[in-house]
Chain A
Amino acid sequence: MGLKISNVNKSYGDKKVVDNINLQINNPGVFGLLGTNGAGKTTTIRMLLGILKKDSGEITWNDKKVERKHVNFGYLPEERGIYPKTKIYDQLVYFAKLKGMTTKQADKAIDYWMKRLEVEQYKNMTAEKLSKGNQQKIQFITAILHDPELVVLDEPFSGLDPVNTELLRNIILELVNQGKYIIMSAHQMSVVEEFCTDILILNKGKTVLQGNLKQIKDTYKANKLSIISKDDIEEKIKEANLSIIFKKENEYQIKITENEETYKLLESLVKNNIKVEKFEINKPSLHDIFIEKVGE
């Protein structure tokens, strides 16, 4: 059971946009597909959904070729769009029926999801009268209305305010608990760290990092020290041969290479009776790893 992408390639003319991608998702959960703009994420997603033909390679879902008739999938594209002059209800029913639902089933699902996403008051309004955020919520409903097994969410949180981000966050967690396979593309690394168990980072069509997020992070040594102190400790940091990355009010971010230097600094602070509110050794965040892999 699951999704398998093997040796998939895609070129536009002479430009290779996806270069030999391989990935496997065997268990329900959220898979993070990351990369800079133009890295090949959307092309990969389009090939995965069968709306763009690959040059070579194989994509299977439960060992069957990915085709509309074999896979019950939902898709929230990065490019947001709904019919501007059509009533929300009419277009939701249209998409639900195209996904094989009956009018009765569609009605029930529409009522549930519109309430869940707090947009039921817009049911009989035309889409052009809705705010961008609400339009995005409607488009999200079209992606999950038919209870798909595989959900592809391309930048699901972009353009949402904190309240709606929280709403969508809870729904994604709910979908994970229901055993859905979710592929999420996002630029906010905090979101990816929160949801994703496995990730794949693309850079110019090539895979630069892939695997279980926790295992990836474990391979990295601590590289940052965070200290909060009301006293001026700059002198002490320099004495310990450490350099400050940035300082904001009482907080210091310090670059470290060996834990030994860190302990020396701590010892020096204690010896000089300097009060410290926070002393934290950090491993690189996904943001840092991402910058390291695709930043050059």
Chain B
Amino acid sequence: MKDLWLVASYTFKDLVKRKSFIVSNIIILAMVIIGFNIPNILKSFVDVNVTEEGTKIVVLDTQDLFEGTLETLNQYQEQIGYNIQVKKDLTEEQVKEQIKAEEINEAIVISKSDNGININYLVKSIGMTSSIPQNVITTIQDTYKNLQISKLNVTQEQLIKINQPFNIEMNQVEEKEAGGNILVMMILSLVLFYAIYFYAYQVSTSITTEKTSKIIETLVTSTSPRVIVLGKTIGIGLVGLMQTAVTVIVALICAKICVTQEMLESILDLSNFTPTLAITSIIYYVLGYSLFALLYALTGSTVAKPEDIQSANGPVAILTLVGFYLSYFTMMNPTSELNAFASMCPISSPFCMPFRIMMGIASATDILISIAILLVTILVVAKVSIKIYSSAILNYGSKINFKDMMKMYKNKND
């Protein structure tokens, strides 16, 4: 046990002290911070003159088509930060000049022609983040419609009936009901996949490096192969957990500071991301990582030359991808039997079950069965991997193939 902790802590420290690790982490965190600030950065190039009062918009109604009813637009000042002024006595040219001079930010010029009502939305320059505020336009349309209806001597009651809102919702007939934000789930699934894949692969690289640098000869006389494989798996797993946690925490802080609540809610609805889900995601990360790390430990020990790592790891990489895509593609239909299978199958359950928990379609029994299957698979893989590792690690000849591995496993004396 003491040796296991020694190998794990040495592996952990050795990895986090490396320049390549520090540099790659700085780059990842910088990308996260920049990523969350992209809207603000772009906005700072476009909306140079947005004041504390909000975006200044002039609504120009020179033909008095709205007969003064456009004042309703002022309600948006508080809601979404528009500072709207309705003008009749300016020309379109004058408004354009005001935008150029940055006295105002944008303008909505309303005019009537034979084809209907024309709305000309004027901005200083059209950029990536420029968009016509749909709620403002809808309100303008509704205001005009209501004005015209009211001229037909329609009562307020009749007007409400005409403007009856349509409440549209979708429901399913199956008992299990899926809910939640698909984007958040896909992100969660992707984060789990990359964390598991990337760090499990590192176990293979680390074992091959020890073998090819011949340090393994000294190491196996200092402690048992079982301790080396498990210690290495734990050490690298802890690095992965720490790095993923730091990245997620920085991302959450950035989301809180840099992105407006409305924007965040419209893109990422984190209401389903509960502490229980966070804990189960960590459990599935640990178990999924352990499974693939032990498989990679096996393939890593069979390689004698660093250039053979990729080809040796190929089958495990394919297995990881199959597991991930099985879970990823069945997400579109979470109540399907295939998705339920993916949540139980050990190669896909680490990517799939957290998503089903978030959707609210996984029962406690489902979770326990899935974890039990995963645990049993890990124990079997650990037994086979450690046994083959013990024989393969001192073999410096040609790459060991599947047949050799089976021989090594069967040969109790080896």
A contact set with B: CB distance below 8 Å: 46, 49-55, 68, 73, 75, 77, 79-86, 90, 94-95, 97-99, 139, 142-143
Contact = CB atoms under 8 A, between A and B. Distances in A.
B223 interface: yes
Given A55-B413, A80-B214, A81-B215, A98 B222 contact: yes
A53 B13 CA distance: 32
A51 B220 contact: yes
B6 A94 contact: yes
Given A46-B394, A52-B394, A53-B413, A83 B213 contact: yes
Nearest to A152: B221
B221 A81 contact: no
Contacts of B194: none
Please classify the interface of chain B as helix (H, G, I), strand (E, B), loop, or mixed, using the class held by over half of its residues.
helix
Nearest to B228: A98
A217 to B, nearest CB: 33
A165 B227 CA distance: 35
Contacts of B223: 68, 98
Interface string B189-224: 000000000000000000000100111111111111
Given A53-B414, A55-B413, A95 B217 contact: no
B384 to A, nearest CB: 17
Given A68-B224, A94-B10, A98-B3, 13 more contacts: A49-B221, A51-B217, A51-B220, A51-B394, A54-B413, A68-B221, A77-B218, A79-B396, A80-B214, A85-B18, A95-B218, A97-B6, A139-B218
Contacts of A85: 14, 18
A49 B218 CA distance: 11
Given A95-B222, A98-B223, A86 B217 contact: no
B336 to A, nearest CB: 48
Contacts of A75: 217-218, 221
B217 A77 contact: yes
Contacts of A86: 14
Given A98-B3, A99-B222, A81 B217 contact: yes
User: Which 5 pairs across A and B sit closest by C-beta, in order of nearness?
Assistant: A81-B214, A77-B217, A79-B214, A98-B222, A81-B215
A77 B219 CA distance: 11
A51 B221 contact: yes
A54 to B, nearest CB: 8
Contacts of B7: 98
Q: Describe A's contact surface by its main secondary structure.
A: loop
B10 A81 contact: no
Contacts of B219: 98
A50 B224 CA distance: 10
Contacts of A99: 222
16 contacts: A51-B217, A51-B394, A54-B413, A55-B413, A68-B221, A81-B217, A81-B218, A82-B215, A82-B218, A83-B14, A86-B14, A94-B6, A94-B10, A97-B6, A98-B7, A98-B222
A234 B214 CA distance: 53
Given A49-B221, A51-B221, A75-B221, A82 B213 contact: yes
Contacts of B215: 81-83
Contacts of A139: 218
Nearest to A98: B222
Contacts of B210: 83
Residue among B10, B18, B222 with most chain A CB within 10 A: B222
Contacts of A54: 413
Of A53, A81, A84, A85, chain B has the most CB atoms within 10 Å of the CB of: A81
Contacts of B10: 90, 94
A80 B413 CA distance: 27
Contacts of A81: 213-218
Contacts of B221: 49-51, 68, 73, 75
Nearest to B411: A53
Interface in B145-193: none
Interface in B215-264: 215-224
Interface in B58-73: none
A46 B391 CA distance: 12
A51 B218 CA distance: 10
Contacts of A46: 394
Nearest to A86: B14
Contacts of A80: 214
A26 to B, nearest CB: 23
A142 B218 contact: yes
Interface in B70-118: none
Contacts of A77: 214, 217-218
Nearest to B214: A81
A193 B210 CA distance: 35
Contacts of B14: 83, 85-86, 90
B4 to A, nearest CB: 11
Nearest to B18: A85
Contacts of B414: 53
Contacts of A52: 394
Nearest to B213: A81
Interface in B388-414: 394, 396, 413-414
Nearest to A43: B394
A15 to B, nearest CB: 13
B120 to A, nearest CB: 64
Interface in B1-23: 3, 6-7, 10, 13-14, 18
Contacts of B213: 81-84
A242 B220 CA distance: 56
B217 A79 contact: yes
